[in-house]
Structure 1
Amino acid sequence: MHFSGRLVHRIGPDDVGERVSVRIRLPDGGFTDIVGVVESWDRGTLTLRRRDDSVAEVAEETIAASRIVPRTPPKRRGSP
């Protein structure tokens, strides 16, 4: 995942159901990225469903950057 330039937070509670990428600040000052579908956004906490079906809860105040990303296309089987 690539965030170019300065970090911009572009998603909000209206983006429930969208596939997003969020960069969160870690306690040690570093960052990590999570990609998933926003399942809920309640009282400052986002619930994201990752592709492997795991769930991540993210406190809104830890988000350094975010954006909506395209849904992954279906995998091709065999030759075209």
Structure 2
Amino acid sequence: MHLGGRLVHRITPEDLGARVSVRITRAEGGFTDIVGVVESWADGVLTLRRRDDSTVEVAEADVVASRVVPPVPPRRPR
């Protein structure tokens, strides 16, 4: 997401179904990161499904950096 002092946006609509990390600008200033699986990408809005099964919609215009990340490893039985 951060390469040599600049933010890099690496995901595309072809990454549907991939687990990604996106950094977005916050209305109150600064940035926040969201990790989730890309469920849809239409009309400039990405829908991401988080690990807790909730979804979040992100305006493509708010994304300042992104990348595909590895799937969540399976949990070990206790």
Instruction: List aligned pairs for 1:34-45, cutoff 5 A.
Output: 34-45=34-45
- Larger-gyration structure (1/2): 1
**Percent same amino acid among aligned pairs?**
67
More strand by proportion, 1 or 2?
Answer: 2
Distance in structure 2 (CA, Å) of the matches to 1:68 and 1:33: 13
Instruction: List aligned pairs for 1:45-60, cutoff 5 A.
Output: 45-60=45-60
Q: CA RMSD in A?
A: 1.0
**SS of corresponding position for 1:38:** strand
Task: Give the gaps of 5 or more residues in structure 2.
Answer: none
Distance in structure 1 (CA, Å) of the matches to 2:48 and 2:76: 26
**SS of corresponding position for 2:28:** coil
Instruction: List aligned pairs for 1:1-80, cutoff 5 A.
Output: 3-4=1-2, 5-78=5-78
Q: Which amino acid aligns with 1:52?
A: D
Distance in structure 2 (CA, Å) of the matches to 1:55 and 1:74: 21
TM-score, scaled relative to structure 1: 0.89
Runs of 4+ in 1 over 6 A off after TM superposition: none
Distance in structure 2 (CA, Å) of the matches to 1:15 and 1:39: 9
Task: Give the gaps of 5 or more residues in structure 1.
Answer: none
Q: Which amino acid aligns with 2:39?
A: E
The number of residues matched between the two structures is: 76
